[in-house]
Amino acid sequence: MGDIIFQCGRELGVEAFARFDHGEGCLRMALGAGEVALGRLLKRLRAGGSVQRAWERSRLPVQLQSVYHMLQRLRTRLPAIRGALLSRCAPPISAHTDPLRQTAEHLWCAFAESANPVEAFQYAFQSPIMG
């Protein structure tokens, strides 16, 4: 199962893997702790407020500094993520000026039917959101 991976004690990476389910005969994405954690954090950031406040409310089992590193890494992926999301739906009107928060809103808009938009993005585009 995908897990939160610590690299050099500083960065947070998100990994997901697919497994073949012989019972149903279909390829399914296994939801790991990383996707859940990233989804919770982005959900809190969408609501507004600081990164620290979102981290506190998300109750993530990582240090705040790791969250900042993860978000910086995610910011480098925004052009690819936003491009993929545009193929699914137009971005919603946003009150945020921060591109990361706008992308989080777009992610929730594009995968409104999903309980975890991060997992749904990875499944739909067959690409990890963190690159």
Task: Please report the pLDDT score of residue 2 as a whole number.
Answer: 45
Measured distance CA(126)–CA(28) in Å, rounded: 11
Cβ neighbours of residue 116 closer than 8 Å, sequence gap 6 or more: 31, 35, 36, 39
Three-class DSSP labels, 19-40: EEECCCCEEEECCCHHHHHHHH
Task: Identify whether the C-beta of residue 66 lies closer than 8 Å to the C-beta of residue 79.
Answer: no
Task: Please report the pLDDT score of residue 48 as a whole number.
Answer: 86
Chain position carrying tokens 């890494």? 73
Helix axes 117-125, 99-110, angle to 10 degrees: 80
Q: How far is CA 124 from CA 40, 63, 67, 71, 83, in A?
A: 19, 30, 25, 22, 13
Mean pLDDT of the chain: 79
Q: What is the pTM of this model?
A: 0.72
- Of the pLDDT bands very low, low, confident and very high (cuts 50, 70, 90), residue 18 is very low
| Domain edges within the chain | 4-125
pLDDT in tens, 69-106: 999 999 999 999 999 999 999 999 999 999 999 999 99
Cβ neighbours of residue 28 closer than 8 Å, sequence gap 6 or more: 18, 19, 21
- pLDDT of 19 > 80? The answer is no
